């Protein structure tokens, strides 16, 4: 089984979901995608995570992002679990859950944990851009809930870097100063970064947020 790496094309697949049958590429369209996996339905940590992802629906829409998640359990279980999520997390599920009983999609995305149950998908997150390229992979242990603020932050950073040819420093948040890549020559900075720049070191140059 090939390992999925950053920059690879996200594998396409057909699947049954709580929102009907989909072809992944067709469903994604020209959007960014947050694709995240769960070991099983009716698990406590994942219940809180799906509720949080549903509550962020407006934030995802603002960024042209579609969330989708996967578990090896059945559609019937997914629908029953969705009711629990709505009841306990205060928000209805508003994105699809993929049923993957034969682990076909889990294998495509290298989601099966070699040191755990052979049926349990690792709790991973994939950010996929509109060109269907994998831009981020995060994998969490079963005991640790995912941080969706970080997922949103990374989407902001990726989208900004794609549009303006910048990099983002440690702990960056939208609106903070950004870094000018070392590939940009000093003499070209003024034309490309009209807000001016600060040279801290020849290799460390910052400029105000280009989108503000």
Q: What is the pLDDT of residues 157-193, one digit of tens each?
A: 999 999 999 999 999 999 999 999 999 999 999 999 9
194, 176: one domain: yes
Does the pLDDT value for residue 84 go beyond 70? yes
**What pLDDT is attached to residue 143?**
81
**What pLDDT score was predicted for residue 107?**
87
Percent with pLDDT over 90 in the chain: 80
Beta bridge partners of 199: 205
pLDDT of residue 162: 97
Question: In the prediction, which pLDDT does 47 show?
Answer: 92
Last residue of a domain, one of 143, 158, 173: 158
* Domain presence at residue 8: no
Are residues 170 and 154 part of one domain?
A: no
Q: DSSP characters for the chain?
A: -PPP-TTSBPPP-EEEETTEEEEHHHHHTTSEEEEEE-S-SS-HHHHHHHHHHHHTHHHHHHTTEEEEEEESS-HHHHHHHHHHHHHHHSS---S-EEE-TT-HHHHHTT-B-TTS-TTPBPEEEEEE-TT-BEEEEEEE-TTS---HHHHHHHHHHHHHHHHH--B--TT--TTS-EEPPTTS-GGGHHHH-TT--EEEETTEEEE--TT-
Q: Residue 4 falls within a domain, yes or no? A: no
> What is the domain extent for residue 118?
14-158
Domain shared by 103 and 173, yes or no: no
Residues 182 and 146 in one domain: no
**One domain for residues 129 and 171:** no
Sign of CA dihedral 78, 133, 204, 188: negative
Same domain, 153 and 196: no
Residue 149 lies in a domain: yes
Residues 103, 131 within the same domain: yes
| 179 and 129 within one domain | no
Q: What pLDDT, on a 0 to 100 scale, did the predictor assign at position 26? A: 98
82 and 186 share one domain:
no
Mean pLDDT throughout 100-112? 87
- CATH number of the structural domain spanning residue 86: 3.40.30.10
* 174/25 Cα distance (integer angstroms): 29
Instruction: Say if residue 105's pLDDT is above 70.
Output: yes
Q: Which residues are catalytic?
A: 46
Average pLDDT, the chain: 92
In total, how many domains does the chain have?
Answer: 2
pTM of this structure:
0.92
What is the pLDDT confidence band of residue 114, given thresholds at 50, 70 and 90?
low
199 and 96 in one domain?
no
**Looking at residues 15-32, what average pLDDT do you find?**
97
Whether residue 140 is contained in a domain is answered as yes
- Mean pLDDT across the stretch 100-120? 76
Give the model's pLDDT for residue 132.
98
Task: Flag whether pLDDT at 51 surpasses 90.
Answer: yes
Assign 122 a pLDDT band (cuts: 50, 70, 90): low
């Amino acid at each position: 089984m090939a390992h999925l790496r950053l920059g690879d094309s996200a594998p396409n697949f057909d699947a049954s979901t709580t929102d009907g049958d989909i072809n992944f590429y067709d469903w994604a369209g020209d959007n960014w995608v947050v694709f995240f996996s769960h070991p099983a339905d009716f698990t406590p940590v994942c219940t809180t995570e799906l509720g949080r992802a549903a509550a962020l629906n407006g934030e995802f829409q603002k960024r042209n992002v579609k969330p989708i998640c996967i578990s090896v359990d059945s559609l019937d279980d997914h629908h029953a679990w969705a009711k629990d999520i709505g009841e306990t997390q205060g928000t209805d599920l508003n994105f699809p859950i993929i049923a993957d009983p034969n682990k076909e999609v889990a294998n495509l995305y290298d989601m099966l944990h070699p040191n755990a149950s052979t049926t349990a998908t690792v709790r991973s997150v994939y950010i996929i851009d509109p060109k269907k390229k994998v831009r981020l992979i995060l994998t969490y242990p079963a005991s640790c809930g995912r941080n969706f603020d970080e997922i949103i932050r990374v989407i902001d950073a990726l989208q900004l870097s794609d549009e303006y040819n910048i990099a983002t420093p440690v702990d960056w948040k939208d609106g903070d100063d950004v870094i000018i890549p070392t590939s940009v020559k000093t003499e070209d900075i003024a034309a490309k970064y009209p807000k001016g720049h600060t040279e801290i070191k020849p290799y460390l140059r910052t400029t105000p947020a280009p989108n503000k």
